[in-house]
Amino acid sequence: MRKSMLSILAVAALSLPLTAQTPAPKPPTTLRGVLLEQLRSTHNVAQWFVPANTAVEGLTAEQAKWTDGKGNHSVGQLTYHLVFWNKTELASFKGEKPPAFSGNNDETFNNFDAAQWSALVHELDQVLTEWEKAVEAADDKKISDKASLLAHVGAHNAYHIGQIVFVRKEQGSWNPEKGVK
């Protein structure tokens, strides 16, 4: 019995290195690759956290306008804010004229209307896709010059996506099987 147990352990030990040698996906090795990875992980690729598309999917307009009554933003307001700033910064990145802005950041949250929820969800997906295409198409100098902006866009998106998930958890409309228990 002792010999068979040792044989089993030896086979198990020998198979471990084979399993451990299975190559993991390689992380990006260029600045463009890192920034694209960050943009995609805040858009529609689940990696370290829930991406935007998952955070807003399946929510009704009524649920999107819900607030906790303590002055915190609704999912709709947070989504509107993300669309506004992503469009604004993307226009700047592309050398285009950004949308009009009074300078009052409250407007980037408070112009949400529940009647526009479905269109807003589509617009969020669209602007995040446009970001990825713009970064893919940009030359290396532009990527280098705008790297800080791109990193901040990704961080800003991740921050507000976290808020969206938190609001949904507070509301009771979050499915923990989507990535956050």
Lookup result for tokens 């068979």: 4
CA dist 88 to 15, 20, 23, 169, Å? Answer: 53, 45, 40, 29
The pTM of this model reads: 0.82
Is 58 a member of any domain?
A: yes
Model pLDDT, residue 8:
38
Residue 13: inside a domain? no
Does 52 map to a domain? Answer: yes
Task: List CB contacts of 60: < 8 A, sequence separation 6 or more.
Answer: 117
Does the residue 84 lie in any domain?
yes
What's the pLDDT tens digit per position in 52-104?
Answer: 999 999 999 999 999 999 999 999 999 999 999 999 999 999 999 998 899 99
Task: Look at residue 5 in the predicted model and tell me its pLDDT.
Answer: 39
- The residue type of 69 is G
CATH code at position 145: 1.20.120.450
- What CA–CA distance (Å, rounded) separates 146 from 50? 25
Question: Is 41 a member of any domain?
Answer: yes
Q: Structurally, how many domains does the chain consist of?
A: 1
Query: So what's the pLDDT on residue 173?
Result: 94
Within a domain: 128: yes
DSSP-based three-state secondary structure for 25: coil
**Is residue 2 included in any domain, yes or no?**
no
Please, which pLDDT band fits residue 151 given cuts at 50, 70 and 90? very high
- Classify residue 78: in a domain, yes or no: yes
Which residue range is the domain that position 171 belongs to?
A: 29-176
Q: In terms of Cα–Cα distance, which of 49, 62, 74 is closest to 118? A: 62
